[in-house]
């Protein structure tokens, strides 16, 4: 240690100063065998690309799934249990459901199907009767009324099929109805699929009871609690209702995507490990070739620590250059994918969580360089100069 | 190292009667040596260097060597190949430790130093000149000269440029070794050896790779270096080096003749005979 006393006195500044000549020497050494250096950098670049691209890929998949599942995790659909002879939900059922769930909104629905037409286009759609659409849905166009008394609300899919917007008139089961709003596309796979449905006021239906009731919660946990409460209260004596709830399924789907992300990252990490081995190889070769030079440095009084710095700087530079190139390449690749594939939602790709994978890959790249360089550097720095100088 | 040291100490203990006998015999000289320890830039006392050889008897590279060089003295060490000359330089240059005996640098005992202490002592007190020059190919002349101090505070490149100018390389400061001739490379190497104003300059076949004329000019540089009070020790096969040396020391099979200056103990006279 004593050969560093003078410098240790100046602390961090001295420690940093030692790195400047080390990095300068390291970069020149790397330029001596450009092909070898470029190949090692390429190895890290590919490893970083693999980690970053696969990480982002997994993340985009998970985000996309999250998006597609949408509200479904927070919704519980209550239907009459036909097997028990219950044909519809009565007002008493709805009231007991409301009592059971407490906080979450309960939106009962009448249901029927009808032909919906506009200017020659026509389609067969589910028609729901709903009193409080604003509790369960959002409008993309127009406004959802507190109490739905007149006009039709179109699902996004059917509005597109018919080319209808708010203010237009459509023909539903033979009568002309004005469209007051179009819903936001939901992409869910709930039994109540609003995209291809039409929502009319309850007054348009003359049924005895409701076909379904939606329980809209704020979170998956709340939805699960609501479902349990309904099972306990409404189904206490007889299974009057069937419940369709996806909160648990959503959890499992999320777990699956977490696993998928980890798996993809693992795949990427393998290529980064291969890159690390190539750095190890390059550094070992290079230190063996430069054995005498390192011996001369040690002989003329360069401390082991400083030789170590030069060699670590070489490996670190390879790692950093490869990581930077790999990160840049990932950004270009992902950007190219978004441009070339309309199916990929740009908003998902630009999600800030993807930046985390870029950063992770960058840090891994530099880290792999330093870790792989550590052994050859340590070995070379600790060789006795008298051995290294021997011809 | 300590694993080596233990049997060495035992070996010394076994030899103890010899050492004592020798001490009694040379008592007056020894007193003078100790008193005038500072007189010598570098000194070896009773140094033994043994290398373990595969299973058999250890190879004795230096056999009870007494060697001393005064500041400003130019000593040539000659002898057949494999006679221990390189070992001598390594031991003198703190690249290798003696198996037994004492090593002094500027009158200070440097026999047993840690790796870091040896590195620092080499940097501060010893300059190396090699047969193959051993310049770093990626560094310019001036950077090669300043290399021993590259990791220290302060910038030695001004001093390095002055040294190169002194050796007539003022117009070659930013040339890389590949752009220099052999003689120029060796001058850069000498400048590198002098960057920390060492007490001792150790040269291993300094003219071995140079033609006679260039060799002569390098030896002239050594004369200059020595006139500045640096002890110059050159291991050589070159008769030209012997001509320039103040003293020629013979090393054969690890046994040294003429290791001490001529006005010293009887061994000096042997050296004079050469």
Q: What is the pLDDT of residues B138-169, one digit of tens each?
A: 999 999 999 999 998 888 999 999 999 988 99
Q: Which residue of A has its CA nearest to B90?
A: A386
If one counts the domains in chain B, the total is: 1
Of A14, A21, A296, which has the smallest distance from its Cβ to B150's Cβ? Answer: A21
- Distance set, CA B2 to CA A192, B7, B92, B163 (Å): 84, 9, 20, 41
Minimal C-alpha gap between B208 and chain A (Å): 15
Query: Is the separation of the CB atoms in A54 and A269 below 8 Å?
Result: no
Please judge whether B123 and A385 are an interchain contact, meaning their C-beta atoms are less than 8 angstroms apart: no
Which residues of chain A make contact with B122, given a CB cutoff of 8 A? 299-301
Is pLDDT at B131 greater than 80 in this prediction?
Answer: yes
Tell me which chain A residue has its CA closest to the CA of residue B128. A300
Closest chain B residue to A293 measured between Cα atoms?
B136
Which candidate from A1, A31, A302 shows the least CB-CB separation from B151? A302
In angstroms, rounded to a whole number, what is the distance separating the alpha carbons of residues B245 and B234? 9
Q: Does residue B18 form part of some domain?
A: no
Flag whether residue A8 sits within 8 Å of chain B, measured between CB atoms. Answer: no
- pLDDT per residue as tens, chain A (391 positions): 344 444 444 577 777 888 889 999 999 999 998 999 999 999 999 999 999 999 888 888 888 877 776 666 778 889 898 888 888 888 888 998 998 888 888 999 998 888 999 888 888 899 999 999 888 888 888 888 989 988 999 999 899 888 888 888 999 988 899 999 999 887 666 778 888 899 999 888 887 889 999 888 887 778 888 888 998 888 888 888 888 887 777 778 888 888 998 898 898 889 888 888 988 998 999 999 999 999 999 999 999 999 999 999 999 999 999 999 999 999 999 888 888 887 777 778 888 888 888 898 889 889 999 999 999 999 999 999 988 888 6
* Cβ atoms within 10 Å of A255's Cβ, excluding its own: 10
**Cα(B127)–Cα(B231) distance, rounded to whole angstroms?**
10
Positive or negative, the Cα torsion across A55, A57, A58, A60? positive
Residue B9 lies in a domain: no
- Any domain includes B102: no
User: Which CATH number do you get for residue B258?
Assistant: 3.40.50.300
Residue B170 φ/ψ, nearest 5 degrees: -60, -25
Between A352 and B135, residue with greater pLDDT: B135
What's the pLDDT score for residue B21? 38
Q: What is the DSSP letter of B58?
A: P
Q: Is the dihedral of CA A12, A17, A23, A25 positive or negative?
A: negative
**Pair of tokens at residue A164:** 């209808």
**The predicted structure's pLDDT at residue A72:** 67
Q: B269 pLDDT exceeds 50?
A: no
DSSP H or E stretch at residue B197:
none
Indicate whether B92 pLDDT > 50: yes
- pTM, to two decimals: 0.72
Q: Quick one: DSSP state of residue A210?
A: B
* Partner residue opposite B120 with nearest CB, options A2, A293, A386: A2
B238 found inside a domain: yes
B219 lies in a domain? yes
Which residues are within 8 A (CB) of A353 and not within 5 positions of it... i.e. 6 or more apart?
Answer: A59, A63
Kindly compute the dihedral angle of the four CA atoms of residues A80, A86, A88, A93, in this order, to the nearest 10 degrees: -70
B207-220 mean pLDDT: 90
> What percentage of residues in chain B have a pLDDT greater than 70?
82
> Using CA atoms, how far apart are residues B124 and B199, in angstroms rounded to an integer?
8
| Confidence grade of residue B24 (pLDDT, cut at 50, 70, 90) | very low
B150 min Cα distance to partner chain A (Å): 6
**Interfacial residues of B (vs A; Cβ cutoff 8 Å):** 90, 93, 95-96, 114-117, 119-120, 122-124, 126-128, 130, 134, 136-139, 147-148, 150-153, 192-193, 196
Closest Cβ opposite residue A301 in set B96, B114, B148 = B148
Q: What average pLDDT does range B186-192 have in this prediction?
A: 94
Q: Does A224 touch chain B (CB under 8 A)?
A: no
Residue B22 in this model has a pLDDT that exceeds 60: no
B40 pLDDT band (50/70/90 cuts)? very high
Beta carbons of B120 and A297 less than 8 Å apart: no
Q: What is the mean pLDDT of residues B99-118?
A: 93
Q: Residue window 24-63, chain A: list those with CB within 8 Å of chain B.
A: 25, 28-29, 31-32
**pLDDT for residue B78 is more than 90:** yes
Q: Is the pLDDT of residue B56 over 60?
A: yes
Domain that holds residue B212: 69-97+110-273
Question: What was the ipTM of the complex prediction?
Answer: 0.81
Q: Which long-range contacts (CB under 8 A, 24 or more apart) does A283-286 make?
A: A283/A311, A283/A314, A283/A315, A283/A372, A283/A373, A283/A376, A283/A377, A284/A375, A284/A376, A284/A379, A285/A36, A286/A29, A286/A33, A286/A36, A286/A314, A286/A376
Q: What integer pLDDT is reported at residue B153 of this predicted model?
A: 85
Say if strands B74-78 and B247-252 run parallel, antiparallel, or are unpaired: parallel
The reply to whether residue B138 touches residue A301, judged by beta carbons under 8 angstroms, is no
- Looking at the domain assignment, is residue B17 inside a domain? no
- Given a contact cutoff of 8 angstroms between Cβ atoms, the answer to whether A191 and A80 are in contact is no
Instruction: State residue B268's pLDDT score.
Output: 37
CB contact under 8 Å between A2 and B130, yes or no, is: no
CA distance B123 to chain A (A): 4
Q: What totals of helices (H) and strands (E) does chain B contain, helices first? A: 10, 10
In a domain, B34, yes or no: no
Q: Which one of B91, B119, B209 would you mutate to disrupt binding with A, by most A Cβ within 10 Å of its Cβ?
A: B119
B-proximal residues of A, 281-310, CB under 8 Å: 292-293, 296-304, 306, 309
Q: What is the structure's pLDDT at A71?
A: 60
Task: Establish how many alpha carbons lie within 13 A of residue A93's alpha carbon, considering only the half-sphere containing its beta carbon.
Answer: 26
Residues of chain A contacting residue B151, judged by C-beta atoms under 8 Å apart: 18, 21-22, 302-303, 306, 309
Beta bridge partners of A79: A242
B148/A300 Cβ within 8 A = yes
- Nearest CB to B120: which of A299, A301, A389? A301
pLDDT at A188: 63
Contacts of B114 in chain A (CB under 8 A): 2
Query: Is residue B186 assigned to a domain?
Result: yes
Closest CA to A390 of A289, A295, A285: A295
Give the pLDDT of residue A189: 63
**Distance (Å) of CA A175 to CA A116, B71, B233:** 9, 119, 116
Count of Cβ atoms closer than 10 Å to residue A335 Cβ: 13
């Amino acid at each position: 240690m004593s050969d560093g006393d003078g410098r240790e006195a100046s602390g961090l500044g001295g420690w940093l100063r030692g790195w400047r000549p080390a990095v300068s020497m390291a970069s020149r050494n790397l330029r001596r065998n450009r092909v070898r250096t470029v190949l090692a950098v390429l190895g890290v670049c590919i490893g970083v690309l693999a980690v970053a691209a696969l990480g982002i890929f997994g993340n985009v998949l998970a985000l996309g799934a999250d998006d597609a599942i949408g509200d479904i995790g927070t919704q519980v659909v209550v239907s009459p249990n036909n097997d028990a002879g219950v044909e519809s939900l009565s007002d008493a059922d709805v009231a007991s459901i409301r009592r059971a769930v407490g906080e979450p909104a309960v939106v009962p629905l009448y249901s029927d199907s009808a032909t919906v037409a506009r200017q020659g286009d026509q389609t067969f759609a589910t028609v729901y009767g709903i009193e409080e659409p604003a509790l369960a849905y959002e409008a993309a166009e127009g406004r959802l009324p507190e109490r739905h008394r007149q006009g039709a609300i179109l699902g996004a899919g059917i509005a597109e099929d018919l080319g209808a917007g708010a203010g237009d008139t459509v023909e539903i089961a033979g009568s002309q109805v004005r469209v007051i709003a179009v819903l936001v596309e939901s992409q869910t796979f709930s039994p109540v699929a609003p995209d291809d449905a039409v929502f009319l006021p309850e007054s348009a239906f003359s049924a005895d009871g409701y076909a379904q009731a939606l329980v809209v919660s704020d979170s998956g946990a709340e939805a699960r609690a609501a479902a349990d409460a309904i099972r306990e209260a409404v189904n206490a004596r007889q299974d009057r209702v069937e419940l369709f709830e996806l909160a648990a399924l959503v959890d499992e789907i999320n777990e699956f995507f977490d696993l998928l992300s980890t798996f993809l990252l693992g795949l990427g990490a393998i290529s980064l490990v291969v890159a690390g081995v190539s750095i190890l190889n390059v550094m070992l070769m290079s230190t063996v070739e430069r054995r005498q030079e390192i011996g001369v440095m040690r002989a003329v009084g360069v401390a082991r620590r400083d030789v170590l710095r030069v060699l670590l700087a070489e490996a670190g530079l390879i790692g950093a250059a490869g990581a930077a190139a790999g990160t840049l390449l990932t950004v270009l690749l992902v950007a190219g994918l978004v441009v070339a594939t309309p199916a990929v939602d740009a908003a998902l790709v630009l999600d800030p969580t993807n930046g985390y994978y870029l950063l992770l890959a960058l840090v891994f790249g530099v880290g792999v360089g330093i870790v792989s360089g550590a052994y050859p550097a340590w070995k070379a720095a600790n060789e006795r100069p008298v051995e290294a100088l021997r011809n | 190292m300590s694993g080596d040291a233990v049997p060495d100490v035992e070996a010394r203990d076994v030899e103890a009667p010899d050492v004592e006998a020798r001490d009694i015999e040379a008592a007056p000289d020894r007193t003078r040596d100790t008193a005038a320890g500072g007189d010598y830039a570098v000194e070896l006392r009773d140094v033994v260097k043994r290398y373990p050889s595969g299973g058999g008897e250890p190879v004795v590279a230096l056999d009870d060597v007494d060697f001393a060089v005064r500041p400003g003295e130019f000593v040539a060490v000659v002898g057949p190949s494999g006679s221990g000359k390189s070992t001598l330089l390594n031991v003198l240059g703190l690249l290798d430790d003696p198996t037994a005996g004492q090593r002094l640098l500027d009158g200070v005992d440097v026999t047993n130093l840690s790796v870091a202490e040896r590195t620092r002592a080499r940097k501060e007190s010893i300059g190396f000149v090699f047969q193959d020059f051993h310049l770093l190919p990626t560094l310019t002349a001036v950077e090669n000269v300043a290399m021993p101090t590259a990791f220290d505070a302060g910038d030695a490149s001004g001093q390095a440029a002055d040294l190169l100018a002194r050796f007539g390389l003022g117009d070659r400061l930013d040339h890389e070794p590949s752009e220099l001739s052999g003689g120029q490379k060796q001058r850069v190497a000498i400048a590198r050896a002098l960057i920390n104003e060492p007490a001792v300059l150790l040269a291993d076949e300094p003219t071995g790779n140079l033609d006679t004329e260039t060799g002569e000019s390098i030896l002239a540089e050594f004369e200059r270096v020595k006139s500045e009070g640096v002890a110059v020790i050159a291991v050589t096969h070159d008769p030209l080096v012997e001509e320039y040396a103040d003293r020629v020391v013979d090393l054969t099979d690890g046994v040294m003749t003429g290791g001490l200056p001529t006005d010293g103990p009887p061994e000096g006279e042997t050296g004079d005979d050469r």
